[in-house]
Amino acid sequence: MKKYRAYAKVNVFLKITGKREEYHEIVSRFMRVDDLYDVLSFVSKKNVQAKANEFKILGDFDCTTTQNSIYKAYKALKEATKNQALEELMRTYAVSVEKHIPAYAGLGGGSSDAATYLKMCNEVLHLGLSLNELAQIGLRVGADVPFFIYGYNSANVSGIGEVVEAFDEEPLVFDICTPAVKISTPKVYQAYRRDFYAPIDGFQAEALKKKSSLEIFNTMHANEANDLFAPALQEYEELAQYYQDGYYFSGSGSSFFKLKEEKYNG
C-alpha cells in the first residue's frame, strides 16, 4: 500500500491575540519541517494481530487508541460523512505509523498524523472532500490540524487555528533539539492566562504576518517570538537547562530550534 508522509512543523513566532471562551486566539507562523516526518500507511489486518472489529493503530505510542489523534480523526470523519465504506476500510485495515516526530514536543506530530489520515481516507475512498472541508473536520480533532491538511510550506495561522493563509517564502532548514520533557499544552496555556496574559493587538498581529521568517529570526529573541515560552519555563523549570541562546521555542514545547548555521551563515 502507498505510504504517506506526515511532516513536523515549527512555530517561527506564536503570539496570543485574545480569548474565545476556553480557547486562546493566536497569530503564528507555521513552517513545515521537510526532513522530519512520520510515515503512515494502511496495512491489511490479515498480516497483523488485530480483531476484525477493532480500530487498530500500529506504532510507538504511549496513549490508548481512543486518545490517539488518528482515532479521533476517524471518529470526526465518520460523523461528518456517515460513510459506510470508511467503517469497512477500518474493519479490514490497520493504520501503520512509523514514528519519527517526538511526542509532547511542540512539533505537531499528533496533528500531522491526524491530517494525513484524513487525506489518506479521502483519497483511498474517493470521498471527494475539498481541503477546506477536510480542514473543518480536522479542526474538531485539534487546532493545528488544518495547517497540515493544506500542506503549505509556510503559513500564517490565526483564530484558534482555523484560519490558515499561505505565506510565500522559501522553506528553511532547522536544527531541532527536543528534551525528554513531557509538556502538557493545556497546562502551559493555563499558566499563560493566569500569570502572563498580555495579548497583542490587531496592528501588531498584521505587522508580524507580513515579516518573513528570516526577518523574525533576525529581529526577535525566543522570549519575544513565543508567548508560551515564559509560562512553559515557569511550569517546567528543567527546560531552562536545555535552552541555548540563538534557539527558539516551538508551540508549547518542549522543542528548541534554530536555523542550520552552515546553510545560512556560510
- CA-CA distance, 160 to 153, in Å (whole number)? 20
- Single out the catalytic residue among 9, 15, 72, 211: 9
Residue 62 is among the residues annotated as catalytic for this protein: no
In angstroms, how far apart are the furthest CA atoms of the chain?
A: 57
Angle, helices 109-124/69-81, rounded to nearest 10 degrees: 40
Nearest CA among 106, 123, 105 for reference residue 40: 123
The reply, when asked if residue 112 is annotated as ligand binding, is: yes
The reply, when asked if residue 106 is annotated as ligand binding, is: yes
Residue 38 is among the residues annotated as catalytic for this protein: no
The reply, when asked if residue 108 is annotated as ligand binding, is: yes
- CA-CA distance, 28 to 41, in Å (whole number)? 30
Q: Are 42 and 59 in contact (CB under 8 A)?
A: no
The reply, when asked if residue 105 is annotated as ligand binding, is: yes
Q: Checking DSSP bridges between strand 4-20 and strand 163-166, what pairing results, if any?
A: unpaired
Q: Are 247 and 254 in contact (CB under 8 A)?
A: no
- Single out the catalytic residue among 38, 144, 211, 227: 144
The reply, when asked if residue 253 is annotated as ligand binding, is: no
The reply, when asked if residue 103 is annotated as ligand binding, is: yes
The reply, when asked if residue 202 is annotated as ligand binding, is: no
Q: Which residues contact 86 (CB under 8 A, 6 or more apart)?
A: 74, 77, 78, 121, 125
The reply, when asked if residue 110 is annotated as ligand binding, is: yes
Other CB atoms within 10 A of residue 252 CB: 27
Annotated binding-site ranges: 102-112
Which residue ranges make up the annotated binding site for ATP? Answer: 102-112
Catalytic residues: 9, 144
